[in-house]
Amino acid sequence: MSDHAGIPLIHIVDDEDPFRRSLVFLLESAGWQAIGYGSAEAFLQASPSLSSGGGCLVLDVRMPRISGLELQRRLQGSGSLFPVIFMTGHGDVELAVQAMKNGAVDFLQKPFKDQQFLDAVEAAVHLSLKRHAADQRCRDAREMLDRLSSREWDVARLLARGMANKEVAGQLGISDNTVHVHRQHVMAKTETGSVAELARLILHADPDGLD
């Protein structure tokens, strides 16, 4: 699942070959690993992983056939964790607004300064890493919580909300002793040492898990 954990990858999609190559060269000069694609189709064909490791997408807004915005739209439902940076030679405000609404992290107007570009890429990669970490925590928490039986999950949720054993017993209609046994199992299965730890785990799995 985490094949490229430590090496972020930057994907550049632009139909202008020399310019795209120069960006790849520039990113490599800054120590990044970058791959260039001559068109949206070429990118979709290669279908690189966008959920593991860090990285970002740098898309040219105007491209023949499938535009940058269209590519962004197609990737939205695929669970991509890579932030999108748009480039345009036309400075189209409307396109920029649309792109930002769709979740783009930055919008660069050509010609741009190399540092401006590198800063944007770095920010995007950082964001992707954070997203990746959050994603990982969520997965781990769900994995832990999945080990619980249905009754144990009920007890764990109520305990995480700060109820005492007695209250949990009253709520669920079971004896205090039974609650105590479930609590022992929950703590063991989730590898948590306290109710506070348990509560954090549940929130990691689902931010709304305690509502």
Instruction: Tell the smallest beta-carbon distance from residue 100 to another protein (Å).
Output: 23
SS3 81: coil
Letters for 5-24 (x = contact with another protein by CB under 8 A, - = none) are: -----------x-xx-xxx-
- Binding flag, residue 2, another protein (CB under 8 A): no
CB 81 within 8 A of CB 53: no
Q: Toward another protein, which CB reaches closer, 89 or 103?
A: 89
Question: Is residue 89 at the binding interface for another protein, with CB under 8 A as the rule?
Answer: yes
Neighbours of 182 (CB within 10 A): 24
Query: ∠126-79-96 over CA atoms, to 5°?
Result: 65
Asked if residue 90 binds another protein (CB under 8 A), the reply is yes
Omega of the bond leading into 8 within 30 degrees of 0 (cis)? no
**Rg from Cα positions in the chain:** 23
Judged by CB, which is closer to another protein: 1, or 93? 93
Q: Which of 2, 5, 28, 70 contacts another protein by CB under 8 A?
A: 28
Both tokens of residue 208? Answer: 């709304």
- Gap between the Cα atoms of 150 and 132, Å rounded: 29
CB-wise, 115 or 194, nearer to another protein?
115
Q: Judged by CB under 8 A, which stretch of 40-48, 107-115, 130-138, 179-187 contacts another protein?
A: 107-115
DSSP-derived 3-state class of residue 68: helix
Binding mask 36-75 for another protein (x = CB under 8 A): ----------------------------------------
- CA distance linking residue 149 with residue 139, whole number of Å: 18
Instruction: By CB under 8 A, name the binding residues for another protein.
Output: 16, 18-19, 21-23, 25-26, 28-31, 89-90, 110-112, 114
